[in-house]
Amino acid sequence: MKKERFVSLKVKLTIGIITICFMIGVVAILSVRRIATSVIDKEYMDKAEQITEAVVNTIDPAEVKTITDIVMDVYENVDTVVPSTEWGSDAWNDYMANYEGIEDLPLFQELRAKLREYQDIFKVDCLYFTVYRRSAVHGIYILDAAPDEDACPPGCVDSFEDGVWPDDENQTLPTTITNEEVYGWLVTAGYPVIIDGNVVCYLCVDISMNDIKAKERGYVVTTALTMFALTVFFLLVAIWFFNRSVIRPVAMLSDTAKNYCSENNDVVHHAFEKLQITSHDEISELLSSMKQMETDMNTNITSLIDTKVALKKTEEKANTMEALAVKDALTGVRNKTAYDYEVQKLEQDLADGFNEFGLAMVDLNFLKRTNDTYGHEKGNISIRRLCMLVCEIFEHSPVFRIGGDEFIVILKNRDYRAVDTLIEDFYRHIDEWQNDSTMNPWEQISAAIGYYKFDKTVDRTVEDVFKKADKAMYDKKVSMKAERKD
């Protein structure tokens, strides 16, 4: 017999403590980071929304509409729109030439100067006016107040399938946080410029979050290192405490128990009595119990032997009773309880991938008439006769009596594959008995049988198979009664 690998309680406790401390630390770090990120993101998103709303409320919407109309008039009349993804190409330069002169307009320069003042006041990266055309998946820049080297000229178009689109119903632009390769972390918000209930364009703001995200990462790293140091400290304290209060006393009990049956009986039979553990907990109670056990074992060994003999007899009796509990008293086959147990095993087989089985339902016909005419004893003979035939036909399958005159067969292996032939043989015997005039009426039994095989494409449980087999039997029973009337 292969010896199982021994893992000490000390190792298990140490692993358990380390795991718990590690999990607590990870959860704490993730929670701190999640909370910090949520708070910071919410603060920046609120700030961006407040800035756009404040700026829109302080500028003249008519001036914004004038510039927007000029830019959009050009946009609507150009033959081909070249998106900013082709920035610097000849096609893009030709397209942007259509907007030449707009930036030189006094009103354009005045609006840009105002936005740049707000950029300085609010310390944001850029403010810009944009018009969105969902049908063309375009965002058209009207005026960008970013520094000249970074600004998008009027008429510049961003084309995006999955961009952030305005909500047409409430005329709002969702505030988003993005992390792009070129710009890093940005929070973007927009607020509509409205005249007479119509949106002229959207004032958008981009606020860099690179610095705050860097500080956030630093905060998380510092928190992680602190948590790690605290975890190590509490881990060492916990290991010391468990070693002193649990591991040592348990080791003493274990060593004493190992030597209990050594050759030096004069020592081991009083070994627990000599131990002194004053931890005042379950280990102390365990030692007291073992001392009592030691005394009882020395004084009551004979009683233990008698108890063992009595337990053996009880076990044999229990096995006998268990066998009777799953056996049908009338027919000797297994009963409904045994069938339910087999169903549990079949369900486990289905879970393991085995599905080649079926159920055959057998029901005795005209039992009530036999009982009423000849008495219940003769009806019992009919039941036993049917049971005998079912067991004879399906000799390789377990048979169960699940009702007064109902039997069920679990079809597997040979009987599963040859079920149609076996059912023909079953009815052949029934016909022979029906036509045998030497038999008593209660021996000339009639029965209906129906079966169904598990189909993994439509069935999921044994109950599904049971219902279909029961229906097949019932349909056969109805047809047999109809034939008898004819």
Considering the domain boundaries, does residue 319 fall inside one? no
CATH number of the domain encompassing residue 373: 3.30.70.270
State whether 361 and 435 are in the same domain: yes
State whether 194 and 218 are in the same domain: no
Angle CA(433)–CA(437)–CA(442) in degrees, nearest 5? 60
The answer on pLDDT for 247 being more than 50 is yes
Considering the domain boundaries, does residue 331 fall inside one? no
Structure tokens at 182: 């070129």
The answer on pLDDT for 267 being more than 50 is no
The pLDDT value given to residue 202: 94
Considering the domain boundaries, does residue 33 fall inside one? yes
The answer on pLDDT for 463 being more than 90 is yes
The pLDDT value given to residue 305: 47
Considering the domain boundaries, does residue 328 fall inside one? no
The pLDDT value given to residue 313: 62
Average pLDDT of the segment spanning 436-457:
92
DSSP 124: -
Considering the domain boundaries, does residue 323 fall inside one? no
- Number of domains forming the structure of the chain: 4
pLDDT digits (tens, 9 = 90+) for 348-359: 999 999 889 999
Q: For the chain, what is the total number of helices (H) and then of strands (E)? A: 16, 10
Structure tokens at 231: 């975890």
Distance separating alpha carbons of residues 409 and 398, to the nearest angstrom: 6
The pLDDT value given to residue 410: 95
463 or 36, which is more confident: 463
Count Cβ atoms below 10 Å from residue 376 Cβ, excluding itself: 12
Average pLDDT of the segment spanning 63-90:
93
Considering the domain boundaries, does residue 6 fall inside one? yes
Structure tokens at 138: 């375009």
State whether 478 and 433 are in the same domain: yes
Average pLDDT of the segment spanning 227-235:
75
pTM (2 decimals)?
Answer: 0.44
State whether 52 and 141 are in the same domain: no
State whether 196 and 219 are in the same domain: no
State whether 125 and 219 are in the same domain: no
Q: Report in angstroms the alpha-carbon separations of 14 from 72, 243, 244, 264, 307.
A: 71, 10, 13, 35, 41
Average pLDDT of the chain is: 83
Give the CA-trace dihedral at 437, 438, 442, 445, to 10 degrees.
-60
CATH number of the domain encompassing residue 203: 3.30.450.20
State whether 217 and 118 are in the same domain: no
Considering the domain boundaries, does residue 312 fall inside one? no
The candidate with the shortest Cα–Cα distance to 406, out of 481, 477, 483, 322, is: 477
Average pLDDT of the segment spanning 215-227:
70
State whether 221 and 199 are in the same domain: no
Structural domain of 71: 61-208
Distance separating alpha carbons of residues 24 and 148, to the nearest angstrom: 51
- The confidence band for 451, taking pLDDT boundaries of 50, 70 and 90, is very high
State whether 140 and 96 are in the same domain: yes
Structure tokens at 460: 């999921």
pLDDT digits (tens, 9 = 90+) for 17-48: 778 766 776 776 677 667 767 778 888 889 98
The answer on pLDDT for 225 being more than 80 is no
State whether 186 and 73 are in the same domain: yes
Considering the domain boundaries, does residue 325 fall inside one? no
State whether 433 and 371 are in the same domain: yes
Distance separating alpha carbons of residues 107 and 67, to the nearest angstrom: 8
Are the CB atoms for 216 and 200 separated by under 8 Å? Answer: no
Where are the extended beta strands (E) located within 196-323? 198-208
pLDDT digits (tens, 9 = 90+) for 93-132: 999 999 999 999 999 999 999 999 999 999 988 899 999 9
Q: Quickly list DSSP for 78-106.
A: -S----GGGTTSHHHHHHHGGGTTSTTSH
State whether 228 and 343 are in the same domain: no
Are the CB atoms for 156 and 143 separated by under 8 Å? Answer: no
